[in-house]
Chains A and B, each alone.
Chain A
């Protein structure tokens, strides 16, 4: 049963231009216990949700009217502030799993890859990797909200 679709960025060569060196986890503290979450380290992306929403819409060239729902892209930010290990979850307005046009999803991934101001998380003096995500609320192909 296909509950959700996973894309790993490494298999989408078109996106590789955005990051020069390959993504690697580099956490030396929680190497075998990768459960650090953005909210435990005050590392939400330092732009308001409203500003991010405005910016993502400026980058979307493909906005099919039939796309309505939520796309969550969950990923890791490593100790260097780089992003990788992307997972994608898609639901419709009734909160049921669905699958939107891959071309549309790719645009959202590219947008995340272009963000370059991720906060570094610290445990004591050590830089650590952490999970974070963006959820895009979409109405007729336009992003109307971004969580968090």
Chain B
């Protein structure tokens, strides 16, 4: 009798797991809905240490600027599966909160544990590098962005992401190493010919080198690209501006002076 009862309970639990977890029942609803959170709570009642479920609870909060809840849930994900979610938390601090100093702490920690892995299409040194860039620590930015690029170059030139080239070039520009900056920007443009941000900053370098006509043409091209819907081609760009990402306002501001 008791054995039969255990078997029945096991069967019910399996059915609940199948419904709430395996089939991701919460995905039937908008992630901004109360149902999304409610069905994740149901799933967590069954698997309270399943890190992915905590990340799923955190994500809509970050996309709404509700960082208290977002971070509370994401910390749970990191607690239950550090290797899987620490780098992601560093990314969220970097892009969704612009909290660069704290992002660097997470990203350096995960880089030690997973040196050849990446998050959101970029290496951990890339995210560390752009965080340092925003903090104005240009030597550190240069070190980590060069690391990201050079590690990829070990595979092939095509393996280097054009956004890596862009931010390394931007670092060189801010270091006033204009020749190096141009080289990086040209590598980025060779891979992506509709990249308004790189066109804008290449124009800034050309202005420093008194090549005003070429700069002006690039600015006009950058503006046309934005008007035609081209952006920094990053998955999360629709949620948050990337560091030093420009708009037509910045382009017009420079064009008016030329």
| Residue positions of A touching B, CB distance < 8 A | 3-4, 35, 37, 39-40, 42, 44, 46-51, 70, 72, 74, 89, 91, 95-97, 131, 133-135, 137, 145-148
Contact = CB atoms under 8 A, between A and B. Distances in A.
B65 A95 contact: no
Contact of A89 (B68, B241, B247): B68
Contact of B241 (A40, A49, A95): A49
A49 B98 contact: yes
Contact of B63 (A39, A42, A44): A39
A147 B67 CA distance: 12
B35 to A, nearest CB: 12
Contact of A147 (B72, B97, B238, B247): B97
A46 B252 CA distance: 12
A96 B68 CA distance: 6
Interface string B93-113: 000111100000000000000
A44 B245 CA distance: 12
Interface in B217-258: 238-241, 244-250
Given A48-B245, A49-B245, A137-B99, A147 B64 contact: no
B210 interface: no
B244 A131 contact: no
A4 B97 contact: no
Interface residues of B, number: 27
Contacts of B193: none
Interface string B53-75: 00000000001111110011000
Contacts of B250: 48, 51
A78 B32 CA distance: 19
B246 A48 contact: yes
Contact of A74 (B64, B134, B238, B241): B64
B67 A137 contact: no
Nearest to B197: A48
B30 interface: yes
A57 to B, nearest CB: 15
B33 interface: yes
Contacts of B246: 48
Nearest to B240: A148
Contacts of B33: 35
B68 A3 contact: yes
Given A72-B65, A148-B240, 12 more contacts: A37-B63, A37-B64, A39-B238, A48-B244, A49-B241, A51-B247, A70-B67, A70-B99, A95-B71, A97-B68, A137-B97, A145-B99
Interface in B30-45: 30, 32-33
A47 B249 contact: yes
Nearest to B32: A35
B247 A95 contact: no
A17 B241 CA distance: 30
Contacts of B244: 48, 50
Given A39-B238, A147-B98, A148-B240, A51 B249 contact: yes
Contact of A46 (B65, B98, B248): B248
Contacts of A147: 65, 96-98, 240-241
Interface in B68-92: 68, 71-72
Given A51-B250, A70-B97, A131 B241 contact: no
Contact of B239 (A46, A47, A148): A148
